Amino acid sequence: MEEKEIENKLKKVWGEQPNLQDENKIEESWDKFSSRAFPPKKKRKKYWYYAAAAVLLISLSITGFLVTHNNGDDKNIVVHNFNIIENPSQQKKLIYLPDSSVVELEPYSRLEYADNFIKNRKIHLQGEAYFKVEKDKQHPFQVFCKETTTTVLGTAFTVKEDPDNTISIKLYEGSIQMNVKDSTNNWLLSAGEKFVYNQKNLTIEAFNRFIDFNNEPLSAVVQYIRQNYDYKIVLPQDFSNKQVTLRISKKEELSNIINILAEIYNLNPQTNEDLKKITFQ
């Protein structure tokens, strides 16, 4: 087409009035045009976004594991700090537990309990110990020794592990329930009963939980205290040969024995804890 002809056509178009069109048609026409003139660009994948999401997911998984790891479900491991007490000496070791219970730990014995002992009164014992348990109906007191479990609410008893793996429990006061691992049975003991268990046999028998002094010299009681409580007793010179008839528990508290003797003979006891010496005047 000649340049002059093109110029004339353009002038003609310029001078014409545009025809108004329906708005919908205009929109439709523009959509068709834009789809051809401006094809949509492919979106770039935001790899950093997916990477961050993956890190977040891993972090949440780890946190969830830690919460599960530390909850109280028996199916999961519960982490506690434990207190371990050993007695490497040749003398009994007196231990006061956080709940005010008292333990006499025999030589070469060991026990351990968790920091939350007030609410979780569980003790693991190796060797032998005597327990004077503070009453707490809401939190039973349990002693685990080998395959046996001794459960109490408040009482006095001994647990002993022998070299041949025999476990013996002697009950001095109150009552206790005995359980053995992998057994659905339980045994209820009364004061004066002894529970003996090894992998072959289980027996419950009576034992003498008292020591009797029948019209014996007072010096015999003094000797008994020296041997069993490791305290030296000093009596007035004319009292050693006095006769006494007395029955006391083999696990009686020393203070009770001293008070009984003081009342019987109208004496005043003075105690020196540093020297472990009690003098009657």
What angle in degrees, to the nearest 10, is found between the helix axes of 218-229 and 254-265? 160
Fold of 82-206: Jelly Rolls (2.60.120)
Nearest to 234 by CA among 182, 259, 269: 269
Burial class of residue 189 (count of CB atoms within 10 Å of its CB; 0-12, 13-18, 19+): buried
Per-residue confidence in pLDDT tens, the chain, 281 aa: 555 555 555 455 445 444 444 555 555 554 554 555 445 555 444 444 333 333 333 232 222 222 223 334 444 445 568 899 999 999 999 999 999 999 999 999 999 999 999 999 999 999 999 999 998 888 889 999 999 999 986 789 999 999 989 999 999 999 999 999 988 999 999 999 999 999 889 999 999 999 999 989 999 999 999 999 999 999 998 887 888 888 999 888 899 999 989 888 899 999 999 999 999 98
CA–CA separation, 103 and 150 (whole Å): 15
For the chain, the residue count is 281
Each residue's pLDDT tens digit, 207-266: 999 999 998 999 999 999 999 999 999 999 888 788 888 899 988 889 999 998 988 889
Whole-number pLDDT of residue 64: 28
- Phi-psi category of residue 174: left, alpha or beta, with phi > 0 → left and psi -120 to 50 → alpha: left
Q: What is the pTM of this model?
A: 0.63
- CATH of 210-280, picked from 3.30.930.10, 3.40.50.1970, 3.90.550.10, 3.55.50.30, is 3.55.50.30
CA–CA separation, 81 and 219 (whole Å): 47
Report the b/e string of 16-51 with b at 16+ CB within 10 A: eeeeeeeeeeeeeeeeeeeeeeeeeeeeeeeeeeee
What distances in angstroms separate CA 261 from CA 94, 229, 254, one per listed residue? 23, 15, 11
- Residue in the structure block whose two tokens are 């207190």: 83
- Phi-psi category of residue 127: left, alpha or beta, with phi > 0 → left and psi -120 to 50 → alpha: left
Backbone torsions φ then ψ of 163, nearest 5 degrees: -55, -25
* Boundaries of every domain in the chain: 48-79, 82-206, 210-280
